[in-house]
């Protein structure tokens, strides 16, 4: 409490000091009048009033106590409280609407309103020092933030989206209530990060979640779709998307993101894949017999002199081979669902495998100069058939996307615990913007040169899935118009 003698208030120096203070009024406690004894320049400026209109006037002559009198925030009640108790009274947010410059109606204004008692020599409250600070901007910003948070929550509720946040130092996990719905728990249940992780299908936990978590710490993004078991053992699909926040030293401190239940759309996808698998499987049988008949025909016609019949049989055979390869691609695609692509690992020399694939390729097409010089033996522990499929995809693409007679060069080298295989062509090349996308499912570059080249955009997607399941990497370097080199690496010791 400030103890000054009221008689000293009219002092000139004090008046000047007071007038320069932030938005303050000095109010005499002569209730019900509450005469304003002094006012600061800052106050006059924010109230848009001249000094003569304020000093010497009763507080309520200028300001109608327009807040409901029963409200504890009403100015008269506040003044009475200061006088009665001799204590300072603060009103953090006090609404008093004022006219803006040139406006014909009042607009809402918010003030931080503080009232300090000033005692006379008899220890009675003789004056109240009232300070008003205009906090309309802050209040409106807070209201806008609350409003947008509210809207976000409504949108999240409507779309069934849950928010989560993970503090990395202590694994503190917080989440919005929708997360409980998504993981099959009643509202209000307390769950930890360990509980959530325990619900993820073990295969997806190892192959997808832990990998995504490690990657997120490096590249800052987080995205995956996995299967989760509810407490009633029913199986659901979720999709989570998130981002990592870093401190000043660029160390990851927090992760935050969203989760949605995608069981329904995933079931549609699985049904579609099952249909493709079934249809492809059914198509395989007639194609196999068609191929057998064509081969028989070729043998029977070996003596014929009709050049058309001869080439027609060979061309038909080639088309059947193409169709068989496409159907195999679809079958493989449908087997890619989590849990369906099982790796059968053996230890084998990858150079021998490359040679085998090339022998097969050369039988089917002799249009290119394919070179491979093995650099000794390179043993890997992997699924031989699937790695063979990857090599075959890359070699076939190199042939497909380059001119007849050009070179296709394969290399294989051991490097820092990995075996790196590369396939280089002198073909049409790939634009930088496409290079990131060609490993996605069904993605094909839309180049004029490739209009007449058949394909569905699944070969590289399949190859990349196979390599990733082996904990390896696949990538491309390419210059448009000059050619491409596709690489994949496999860890030697798993």
The H-or-E segment that residue 75 falls in is helix 75-85
Closest distance to ligand ADP from the beta carbon of 380 (Å): 23
Cα–Cα distance for residue pair 3/129, rounded to 1 Å: 12
- Phi (first) and psi of residue 327, to 5 degrees: -65, -40
- Minimum distance of ligand ADP from residue 435's CB (angstroms): 9
Closest distance of CB 483 from ligand ADP, Å? 7
The 3-state secondary structure of 259-304, one letter per residue: EEECHHHHHHHHHHHHHHHHHHHHHHHHHHHHHHHHHHHHHHHHHC
- For ligand ADP, the binding residues (CB under 6 A) are 393, 397-398, 401, 425, 427-430, 438, 443-445, 450, 455-461, 484
Pick the closer one to ligand ADP by CB: 18 or 486: 486
CB of 443 to ligand ADP, least distance (A): 6
Cβ closer to ligand ADP: 44 or 394?
Answer: 394
Alpha carbon 228 to its chain's center: 20
Contact call for residues 97 and 108 (beta carbons, < 8 A): yes
Tell the smallest beta-carbon distance from residue 459 to ligand ADP (Å): 3
Q: Count the neighbouring beta carbons within 10 Å of the beta carbon of residue 283.
A: 16
Q: Which tokens in the block code for residue 321?
A: 């081979």
Alpha helices in 87-177 (DSSP H): 136-159
Which residues neighbour 391 within 8 Å (Cβ) at sequence distance 6 or greater? Answer: 353, 354, 357, 410, 421, 423
Query: Is the Cβ of residue 27 or residue 357 nearer to ligand ADP in the bound state?
Result: 357
The 3-state DSSP composition of the chain as helix, strand, coil percent (nearest 5) reads 45, 25, 30
Q: Which is nearer to ligand ADP, 115 or 389 (CB)?
A: 389
Q: In angstroms, give the least distance from the CB of 421 to ligand ADP.
A: 14
Nearer to ligand ADP, 61 or 447 (CB): 447
Angle CA(455)–CA(457)–CA(461) in degrees, nearest 5? 140
Strand order in the sheet with 418-425: 369-372, 407-415, 418-425, 483-491, 473-479
Cβ distance to ligand ADP smaller for residue 313 or 394: 394
Q: Which residue is nearest to ligand ADP (CB)?
A: 455
Which residue lies nearer to ligand ADP by CB, 106 or 322? 322
Rounded to a whole number of angstroms, the minimum distance from the CB of residue 333 to ligand ADP is: 11
């Amino acid at each position: 409490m400030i103890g000054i003698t009221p008689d000293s208030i009219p002092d000139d120096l004090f008046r000047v000091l007071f007038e320069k203070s932030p938005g303050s009024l000095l109010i005499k406690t002569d209730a019900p009048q509450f005469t304003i004894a002094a006012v600061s320049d800052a106050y006059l400026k924010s109230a848009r009033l001249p000094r003569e209109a304020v000093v010497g006037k009763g507080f309520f002559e200028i300001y109608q106590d327009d807040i409901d009198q029963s409200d504890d925030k009403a100015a008269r009640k506040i003044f009475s409280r200061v006088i009665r108790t001799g204590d300072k009274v603060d009103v953090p947010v006090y609404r008093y609407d004022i006219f803006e410059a040139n406006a014909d109606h009042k607009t809402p204004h918010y003030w931080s309103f503080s009232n300090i008692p000033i005692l006379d020599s008899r220890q009675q409250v003789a004056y109240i020092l009232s300070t008003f600070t205009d906090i309309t901007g802050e209040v409106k910003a807070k209201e806008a933030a609350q409003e947008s948070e509210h809207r976000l929550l409504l949108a999240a509720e409507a779309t069934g989206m849950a928010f989560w946040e993970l503090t990395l130092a202590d694994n503190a996990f917080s989440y919005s209530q929708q997360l409980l719905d998504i993981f099959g728990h009643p509202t209000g249940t307390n769950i930890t990060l360990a509980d959530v992780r325990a619900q993820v299908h073990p295969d997806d936990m190892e192959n997808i979640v832990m990998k995504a978590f490690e990657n997120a710490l490096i590249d800052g993004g987080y995205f995956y779709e996995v299967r989760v078991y509810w407490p009633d053992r029913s199986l659901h699909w979720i999709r989570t998307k998130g981002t990592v926040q870093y401190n000043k030293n660029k160390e990851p401190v927090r992760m935050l993101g969203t989760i949605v239940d995608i069981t329904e759309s995933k079931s549609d996808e699985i049904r579609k894949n099952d249909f493709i698998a079934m249809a492809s499987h059914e198509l395989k049988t007639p194609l196999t017999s068609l191929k057998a008949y064509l081969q028989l025909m070729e043998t029977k016609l070996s003596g014929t002199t009709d050049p058309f019949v001869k080439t027609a049989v060979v061309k038909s055979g080639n088309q059947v081979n193409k169709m068989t390869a496409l159907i195999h691609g679809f079958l493989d695609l449908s087997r890619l669902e989590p849990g369906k692509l099982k790796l059968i690992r053996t230890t084998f020399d990858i150079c021998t495998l490359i040679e085998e694939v090339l022998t097969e390729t050369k039988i089917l097409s002799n249009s290119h100069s394919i070179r491979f010089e093995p650099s000794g033996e390179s043993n890997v522990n992997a699924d031989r058939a699937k790695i063979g499929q990857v090599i075959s995809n890359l070699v076939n693409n190199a042939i497909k996307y380059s001119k007849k007679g050009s070179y296709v060069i394969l290399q294989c080298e051991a490097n820092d615990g990995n075996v790196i295989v590369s396939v280089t062509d002198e073909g049409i090349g790939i634009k930088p913007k496409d290079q990131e996308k060609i490993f996605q499912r069904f993605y094909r570059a839309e180049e004029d040169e490739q209009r007449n080249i058949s394909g569905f955009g699944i070969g590289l997607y399949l190859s990349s899935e196979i390599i990733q399941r082996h904990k390896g990497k696949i990538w491309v370097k390419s210059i448009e118009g000059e050619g491409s080199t596709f690489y994949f690496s496999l860890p030697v010791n798993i």
